[in-house]
Amino acid sequence: MKLTREEVRKVATLARLHLTAEEEERLTEQLDAILRYMEKLNQLDTSRVEPFTHAADVVNAFREDKVTNRPNAEALLANAPDKDQTFFRVPKIIE
């Protein structure tokens, strides 16, 4: 089944990516080729294989719930595209 431009547009919206018409066209073609290659996994019967979860046998890594880093609003805001005193300024979220 060939990947369609509509599907690519839908996935781009899910990924919060605006694509130009040219990007959309190129990605439809490239992703289709890559997904076709990935179909080779269907050669394998994996119905009795448990999916991989972690490379080593690990148990939960618990630690004390205590603060180890001091809050430093100034340093954290230093990279903000827009700010107001000690707050990030962002576009309006609720209409």
Residues contributing to the site for other proteins (CB under 8 A): 7-8, 11-20, 23, 27, 30-31, 33-35, 37-38, 40-42, 44, 46, 49-56, 58, 61, 63, 69, 72, 75-76, 78-82, 88, 90-93
For residues 21 and 25, give the distance between their C-alpha atoms in angstroms, rounded to a whole number. Answer: 6
Q: Considering the complex, what minimum distance in angstroms separates the CB of residue 20 from other proteins?
A: 8
Q: Considering the complex, what minimum distance in angstroms separates the CB of residue 38 from other proteins?
A: 4
Q: Considering the complex, what minimum distance in angstroms separates the CB of residue 2 from other proteins?
A: 14
Which residue number, 49 or 84, has a Cβ lying nearer to other proteins?
49
Helix (H), strand (E), coil (C) string for the chain: CCCCHHHHHHHHHHCCCCCCHHHHHHHHHHHHHHHHHHHHHHHCCCCCCCCCCCCCCCCCCCCCCCCCCCCCHHHHHCCCCCEECCEECCCCCCC
Which residue number, 46 or 85, has a Cβ lying nearer to other proteins?
46
Q: Considering the complex, what minimum distance in angstroms separates the CB of residue 68 from other proteins?
A: 8
